[in-house]
Amino acid sequence: MTLIADEEKDTADGNPAAESTAAPVAVSAPVGRALIRAKARKLSSGPGVYRMLDQHGDVMYVGKARNLKARVGQYAGGKAHTNRTTRMIGRVHDLIVVTTETESQALLLEAQLIKRYMPPYNVLLRDDKSFPYILIRTDHQWPQIKKHRGAQNIKGHYFGPFASAGAVNSTLNTLQRAFLLRSCSDGVFNARTRPCLLFQIKRCSAPCVERVTQEEYAGLLDDARTFLGGKSQRVQRDLSEQMMVASEAMEFERAAAIRDRIKALTSIQGRQGVTAGDVEDADVIAVHQEGAQSCVQVFFLRAGQNWGNRAYFPKHDSSQGLEEVLEAFIGQFYDSRPAPQTILISHDFTERPLMEEALSLKSPRKVALLVPKRGDKAKMVDLALRNARDALALRMAESASQQLVLSELASIFDLEGPPRRIEAYDNSHISGTNAIGAMIVAGPDGFLKNSYRKFNIKNTELVPGDDYGMMREVLTRRFARLVKEDPERSRGQWPDLVLIDGGAGQLTAAEAVLAELGIEDLAIVAIAKGPDRNAGRERFFMPGRAPFTLDPRSAVMYYLQRVRDEVHRFAIGTHRQKRAGSMTKSQLDEIPGIGPGRKKALLAHFGSARAVAGAALEDLESADGINKAVARKIYDYFHADG
């Protein structure tokens, strides 16, 4: 169910969703309350979602309501508001409202809008990566087993979610030993003329060269699906019987192979570790709060097996309690992923029945949110709660250590205080080709990967390999945009410190860019590799200071090396992606009328684009799918000057 599109409807007949968001000046809390009061008078008494906007038009808060008129009107009362809410009201410049048919739809829309706008006054789930699955494809004569992320649009059987890619990879390796299913791509599979190494080490049955019959391979597939479907004991029992039969028939080699498969299955079950009795499919969600921080721990139980767990640290205000954090987390967590039939939670909250109704709207089955008090389910919740408590304690210890490092860094680089946002820049290219610039962001909470940016170098007048020119372009584009979009530096997008991977030359180039843009108060440091690229002997360059180095054993030096290595990794990875994309292109892509089908036919017939370019007209006509008119077009394209 997707509801976001409804908010964009232009309704000139008084629908609150069409209210203007323009406002030129800041307001105080009384003025903000008056503005909200005036808006509230126009609202309906039905359910919906409201957004509070600041003077820049940025969304500060998203909320839902059973009765919009009454709920929004509460903000204008001026009573019983927390300091946080009072501050927010004082910044309100406008209000946008979207009405919905039911309160459960409003709850779903609220979660979507929070994830879309990331408002600072809401509880925010910051890490929302998709979870990996195991896929057994059924669109091939010899089905493949593989890891899968994203939309489930490939025909086959999906098992998951797993908590991490590592959990999937480990399970896949063991499944290969147990069921000998192929993991190679179709291209590799079709090109094989003899078994690969996986067959030699007994991790594949080599269907590519038919070392296994289709009937035998189908049996392996059935066993794998049965095992992943939760009936592991039945699979092991069947394998044990087969091993005994083979042993009694004195087929000892076959019996040993089956024994190894049983051991592989046992190793998977040993790693599962935690089970929940009669719970087949469930997520276990527990939240622990200490001070102004919270940790939400999620365990994934599927087909009676534990498929891992993951810790989340949602961002929220210190006034927001456990129940509010848990409710907001569940709404955002299941916005883009299916909910299981049962969700076990550590704490109850007022809107739990509404949340069940909302999640059930998106699921083929009714979803139940349970707060178990006894039995196996309660033990699972207690386990998740202990993990949440331990994860939060570790994070708080690391955070305290990180804060000390940032404080020392601020002293070394003469900053006003510990930096909240550090931006690091680097370039990557090969002799000037496929050149890119990269920016990463770091702060008290570690690397902020959602804020990473890549810059395709667009200046065609640059001399190939001009690193200084590339850095000038990257910094110009980045900071010219900041000057235009946030001249008052009030949105948290300006860095407190800029790190450049390079030496004095890169620093000079960066200084020139900032001077041209009129930026005079931004701390900038260039970090150059030491002699012989020796880690720990890096030199630092700053405007108005002589180059210096740090104690190679200091925590600040180690931290700066991590930041420098991360931007270097991101730059190289982005460059490789761009280079790989350019390598897949060919001259055939430039010929009008040559689509993927004809391109594939030409390459299959001639072997390469170069051979196509040198082919005679008659040879082109002989390729599959190429008629005389198309052949003439291809020939003329390559012989236009002839």
The CATH number assigned to the domain holding 616 equals: 1.10.150.20
Residue 268 resides in a domain: yes
Q: What is the mean pLDDT of residues 283-295?
A: 91
Q: Mean pLDDT, the chain, as a whole number?
A: 83
Same domain, 594 and 568: no
Which secondary-structure segment (H or E) carries 96? Answer: strand 94-99
- Cα–Cα distances (Å) from 269 to 164, 231, 306, 505, 572, in that order, read 17, 12, 9, 58, 39
Same domain, 350 and 433: no
Same domain, 34 and 155: no
Same domain, 574 and 591: no
Residue 624 resides in a domain: yes
* Per-residue model confidence (pLDDT) at position 535: 64
Residue 27 DSSP SS3: coil
* Per-residue model confidence (pLDDT) at position 506: 93
What is the residue type of 246?
A
Same domain, 447 and 433: yes
Tens digits of per-residue pLDDT, 8-22?
Answer: 333 333 333 333 333
Question: The tokens 């008290």 sit on which residue?
Answer: 444
Give the closest residue to 453 by CA, choosing from 425, 481, 472. 425
Taking CA 394 as the corner, what is the angle to CA 391 and CA 399, rounded to the nearest 5 degrees?
120
Tens digits of per-residue pLDDT, 406-438?
Answer: 999 999 999 999 999 999 999 887 766 778 899
* Per-residue model confidence (pLDDT) at position 56: 86
DSSP state of 494: S
Residue 24 pLDDT grade (very low, low, confident, very high; cuts 50, 70, 90): very low
In DSSP notation, 122-185 reads S-B----PPPPEEEEE-SSSS-BEEEE-S---SSEEEE---S-HHHHHHHHHHHHHHH--B-S-
Residue 67 pLDDT grade (very low, low, confident, very high; cuts 50, 70, 90): very high
Domain end position, chosen among 558, 582, 606 = 582
* Per-residue model confidence (pLDDT) at position 585: 58
Q: What is the mean pLDDT of residues 305-328?
A: 89
Residue 404 resides in a domain: no
620: Cβ contacts below 8 Å, ≥ 6 apart = 612, 626, 631, 634, 635
Cβ atoms of 362 and 334 closer than 8 Å: yes
Residue 307 pLDDT grade (very low, low, confident, very high; cuts 50, 70, 90): confident
Separation between Cα atoms, residue 36 and residue 611, nearest integer Å: 71
Question: The tokens 């126009």 sit on which residue?
Answer: 42
Dihedral of the CA atoms 613, 619, 623, 627 (nearest 10)? 100
Least confident of 48-57, 499-508, 599-608: 599-608
More confident: 26 or 209: 209
Tens digits of per-residue pLDDT, 549-597?
Answer: 998 888 899 999 999 999 999 999 888 877 666 555 566 777 777 877 7
Cβ atoms of 500 and 494 closer than 8 Å: no
Q: What is the mean pLDDT of residues 480-500?
A: 91
State residue 291 phi and psi, 5-degree precision. Answer: 65, -130
Domain end position, chosen among 537, 557, 582 = 582
Residue 26 pLDDT grade (very low, low, confident, very high; cuts 50, 70, 90): very low
State residue 338 phi and psi, 5-degree precision. Answer: -70, 145
User: β-pairing, 305-312 with 422-430?
Assistant: unpaired
Q: Show the domain range for 302.
A: 282-393
What is the residue type of 136?
I
- Cα–Cα distances (Å) from 278 to 230, 298, 310, in that order, read 11, 19, 22
* Per-residue model confidence (pLDDT) at position 255: 75
Same domain, 227 and 289: no
For residue 290 the two structure tokens come to 């200490």
Name the percent of the chain lying above pLDDT 70.
87
123: Cβ contacts below 8 Å, ≥ 6 apart = 114, 314, 315, 316, 320, 324, 325, 328, 329
* Per-residue model confidence (pLDDT) at position 112: 92
Name the percent of the chain lying above pLDDT 90.
36
Same domain, 259 and 313: no
* Residue 144 predicted with pLDDT over 50: yes
Strand order in the sheet with 156-159: 145-148, 133-137, 156-159
Cβ atoms of 475 and 481 closer than 8 Å: no
* Per-residue model confidence (pLDDT) at position 14: 34
Residue 64 pLDDT grade (very low, low, confident, very high; cuts 50, 70, 90): very high
User: β-pairing, 282-290 with 293-302?
Assistant: antiparallel
Residue 185 resides in a domain: yes
619: Cβ contacts below 8 Å, ≥ 6 apart = 606
More confident: 170 or 280: 170
Is the bond preceding 161 in cis, omega lying within 30 degrees of 0? yes
User: β-pairing, 145-148 with 282-290?
Assistant: unpaired
Q: What is the mean pLDDT of residues 222-230?
A: 78
Residue 414 resides in a domain: no
Q: What is the mean pLDDT of residues 295-321?
A: 87
DSSP state of 16: G
Residue 378 resides in a domain: yes
* Per-residue model confidence (pLDDT) at position 267: 59
The total number of structural domains in the chain stands at 5
Residue 126 resides in a domain: no
Residue 29 pLDDT grade (very low, low, confident, very high; cuts 50, 70, 90): low
* Residue 455 predicted with pLDDT over 50: yes
Cβ atoms of 46 and 67 closer than 8 Å: yes
Residue 128 pLDDT grade (very low, low, confident, very high; cuts 50, 70, 90): low
- Cα–Cα distances (Å) from 400 to 403, 407, 444, in that order, read 5, 11, 9
More confident: 182 or 275: 182
Question: The tokens 């098992």 sit on which residue?
Answer: 159
* Per-residue model confidence (pLDDT) at position 298: 93
168: Cβ contacts below 8 Å, ≥ 6 apart = 132, 133, 134, 147, 160, 162
Cβ atoms of 92 and 54 closer than 8 Å: yes
Same domain, 252 and 314: no
DSSP state of 329: H
Separation between Cα atoms, residue 482 and residue 485, nearest integer Å: 5
In DSSP notation, 235-283 reads HHHHHHHHHHHHHHTT-HHHHHHHHHHHHHHHHHHHHH----TT--SEE
Residue 447, beta-bridge partner list:
442
Q: What is the mean pLDDT of residues 217-240?
A: 76
Separation between Cα atoms, residue 111 and residue 301, nearest integer Å: 24
Same domain, 326 and 454: no
For residue 230 the two structure tokens come to 């939760």
* Residue 269 predicted with pLDDT over 90: no
What CATH number is associated with residue 466?
Answer: 3.30.420.340
Task: Note the pTM of the prediction, 2 decimals.
Answer: 0.71
More confident: 545 or 129: 545
Separation between Cα atoms, residue 150 and residue 137, nearest integer Å: 15
Residue 546 DSSP SS3: coil
Cβ atoms of 202 and 254 closer than 8 Å: no
More confident: 171 or 349: 349
- Cα–Cα distances (Å) from 179 to 174, 222, 224, 264, in that order, read 9, 10, 6, 9
Residue 50 resides in a domain: yes
Q: Which H, E and C letters describe 404-457, residue by residue?
A: HHHHHHHHHCCCCCCCCCEEEEEEEEECCEEEEEEEEEEECCEECHHHCEEEEC
Separation between Cα atoms, residue 60 and residue 56, nearest integer Å: 10
Domain end position, chosen among 272, 294, 321 = 272
Same domain, 518 and 481: yes
* Per-residue model confidence (pLDDT) at position 16: 32
Same domain, 164 and 92: no
Tens digits of per-residue pLDDT, 80-112?
Answer: 678 888 888 888 999 999 999 999 999 999 999
* Per-residue model confidence (pLDDT) at position 586: 63
- Cα–Cα distances (Å) from 220 to 112, 169, 329, 432, 605, in that order, read 42, 19, 40, 51, 37
- Across 535-550, b (16+ Cβ under 10 Å) vs e yields eeebbbbbeeeeeeeb
Same domain, 227 and 353: no
* Residue 350 predicted with pLDDT over 70: yes
Question: The tokens 């945009």 sit on which residue?
Answer: 481
What CATH number is associated with residue 99?
Answer: 3.40.1440.10
